[in-house]
A = this chain, B = another copy of it.
Amino acid sequence: MIKVLIVDDDFMVAKVHAGFIQRTPGFTVVGVAHTGAQAVVETERLQPDLVLLDIHLPDINGLDLMQRLRDVAPELDVLVISAAREVETVRKALRGGIVHYLIKPFSQKDLHERLEHYRSAYQGLDSSKDVAEQADVNRVFGLDSAGAQGGRPLPKGCSVETLKLVKGALTAADGDLSANEVAVQLGTSRVSARRYLEYLHAEGVLEVRLKYGVGRPERRYVLKV
């Protein structure tokens, strides 16, 4: 569980963020601070993994606060959330080694994406490994060619929604599935199921095994690795 501390002077905003993060699987809100002083105290006490930091605070500039928090907890990661969009502020924050800089107002989806990215990128780089691969570092900087849907734009005649369903079916399945089985499971036609399966196969996500019997052999699809 990734422990998050929210730092925002606006009570309502802090509450909303807290609620959202609490509902995000894998994340838990361990505390909320409304001033820089509180933030330092809470960081020391709670040792969060991640701080959601608003730049605008009553007692101290958020960027300076960031340095203080790092003194208290060197392992701390910071996600800046701010309405401040002056280039100098942003650049300074970037040089401070932040996880991301979200400019208000942003949608729940934006925040959700950043949290997911944090989990997969930064946390994949933790104690479970001793040495990092270049791929791990690239992931942090968003160069993850495979992972999310950021990649190439699906062939014409395909939808993200259906693709997800197909992936889901394969993940849920214990072993391999035929196009027909996938179709039945999703409620689509075999033709559609096949479209997506072959797409995933072309992408290198799936492996195909032939199952022989009477008649033409059946193509059975399995997720790789």
Which residues of A does B touch, CB under 8 Å? 70, 74-77, 85-87, 90-91, 94-98, 100-103, 105-110, 112, 122, 125-127, 129-134, 136-137, 140-143, 145-146, 149-150, 152-153, 159, 161-162, 165, 186-189, 192, 202-205, 208-210, 212, 217, 219
Question: Would B95 and A97 count as touching, CB distance under 8 A?
Answer: yes
What's the minimum C-beta distance from A21 to chain B, rounded to whole angstroms? 14
CB-defined contacts of A127 to chain B, threshold 8 Å: 87
A186 proximity list for chain B (CB < 8 A)? 212
Which residue from chain B places its CB closest to the CB of A70 in the assembled complex? B95
Could you tell me if A162 and B210 are in contact, using CB atoms closer than 8 angstroms? yes
Looking at A129, A132, A165, A202, the one whose CB has the most chain B CB atoms below 10 A away is A132
Complex: A74 Cα to B88 Cα, angstroms: 11
Minimum distance in angstroms from A120 CB to a CB of chain B: 14
Q: Nearest-CB distance from A220 to chain B (Å)? A: 10
Interface pair B204/A107, CB less than 8 Å apart: yes
Q: How far is the CA of A44 from the CA of B56 in the complex (A)?
A: 32
Alpha-carbon separation in the docked complex, A127 to B88 (Å): 8
Query: Which B residues are in CB contact (< 8 Å) with A130?
Result: 86-87
B residues near A125, Cβ cutoff 8 Å: 87, 90-91
Residues of B within 8 A of A152 (CB): 105-107
CB-based contact B94/A140 at 8 Å: yes
Inter-chain contacts of A146 with B (CB < 8 A): 149-150
